[in-house]
Chain A
Amino acid sequence: QSVLTQPPSVSGAPGQRVTISCTGSSSNIGAGCDVYWYQQLPGTAPKLLIFGNSHRPSGVPDRFSGSKSGTSASLAISGLQAEDEADYYCQSYDRSMSGPGVFGGGTKLTVL
């Protein structure tokens, strides 16, 4: 049972927009802790996709965007491409930014 809750799977056709939710609680996301998103392609290590709730590292396409509200966060992917098919994880910290790291259970994105 993950501390952060994500849907197990989402899907969309090429060119469409999908969103992945990440629900936490008052002890993590709701406590003001930042949310991060990682993309994991099959057989590879996770890659940082979004930091500080909504910021993209250099090299991440602007098709990826993040937001946070209350005890939840979302990752939106627009203009879906076949290469976006991967597992996506949200991550935050528990109780404070000094607390233990917590992950969502991951969401498998299938591009139809």
Chain B
Amino acid sequence: QVQLVQSGAEVKKPGSSVKVSCKASGGTFGSYAISWVRQAPGQGLEWMGRIIPSVGITNYAQKFQGRVTITADKSTSAAYMELNSLTSEDTAVYYCARTYRERSSSGVYSYYYMDVWGKGTTVTVSS
């Protein structure tokens, strides 16, 4: 059974960047996408974006466009989420999640459930 292992907690200064990793253990990403979801303290889940590691296609939430970059190394089954220009509002737990996807005959990708989640990486932004 594939598990997603995330990198450790980070403490960052305002204005800096953070890069969180997510590596498949016990298997590979296969044809799945990897989504990134964050959760601020005491708040709900927020979708940030996703990548299909096998082809490198990415999509981002409008809120994070231009500030977030999601990459993947399919040879090592690792995905990365880098967030720039950090503020205190970026203090949150960041999760990666395996996302089932399909591709139609016309080349359109559809995305479905997030069935395997990492344990989360706490990012604290403080001066």
Q: Mark A26-44, 1 if CB is under 8 A from B, else 0.
A: 0000000010101010001
Q: How far is the CA of A44 from the CA of B39 in the complex (A)?
A: 11
Query: What residues of A have a CB within 8 angstroms of the CB of B61 in the complex?
Result: 100-101
**Interface assignment of A51: CB less than 8 Å from any CB of chain B:** yes
Chain A residues within 8 Å of B113, by CB:
36, 48, 51-52
Residues of the A chain whose Cβ atoms lie less than 8 Å from the Cβ of B115 = 48, 51, 57
CB distance from B43 to the nearest CB of A (A): 8
Residues of B within 8 A of A104 (CB): 44
Of the four ranges (under 10, 10 to 19, 20 to 34, 35 or more), the interface on chain B belongs to: 20 to 34
User: Which one of A2, A52, A97 has the greatest number of beta carbons of chain B within 10 Å?
Assistant: A97
Which residues 97-127 of B sit at the A interface, judged by CB distance below 8 A? 97, 108-115, 117-120
The answer to whether A103 touches B95, judged by C-beta atoms less than 8 angstroms apart, is: no
Give the distance in Å from the alpha carbon of A101 to the alpha carbon of B119 in the complex: 20
Query: Chain A residues near B59 (CB, 8 Å)?
Result: 100
Q: Is the interface of B mostly helix, strand, loop or mixed?
A: strand
Distance A40 CA – B111 CA, assembled complex (angstroms): 21
Q: Given A98-B108, A98-B109, does the pair A106, B44 have CB atoms closer than 8 Å? A: yes
Kindly identify which residue among B47, B62, B118, B119 contacts A103, using a CB–CB cutoff of 8 Å: B47
How far apart sit A38 and B117, CA to CA, in the bound complex (Å)? 11
Q: Are the C-beta atoms of B46 and A103 separated by less than 8 Å?
A: yes
Q: With an 8 A cutoff between CB atoms, is B69 at the interface?
A: no
Q: Is A100's CB under 8 angstroms from B110's CB?
A: no
Give every chain B residue within 8 A of A93 (Cβ-Cβ): 111
- Asked if residues A45 and B95 are in contact (CB atoms below 8 Å), the reply is yes
A residues lining the B interface (CB < 8 Å): 2, 34, 36, 38, 40, 44-48, 51-52, 57, 89, 91, 93, 96-98, 100-106
A sample of 11 cross-chain residue pairs with beta-carbon separation below 8 angstroms, ordered by A number, consists of A38-B114, A44-B119, A45-B120, A46-B117, A52-B112, A89-B45, A91-B47, A100-B62, A101-B47, A103-B37, A104-B44
Given contacts A45-B95, A103-B47, A104-B44, 7 further A-B pairs with CB under 8 A are A36-B112, A36-B114, A45-B117, A46-B114, A97-B111, A97-B112, A100-B60
Per CB-CB distance, the 10 closest pairs between chain A and chain B, nearest first, are: A101-B47, A97-B110, A51-B113, A45-B117, A106-B44, A103-B45, A105-B44, A48-B115, A36-B113, A100-B61
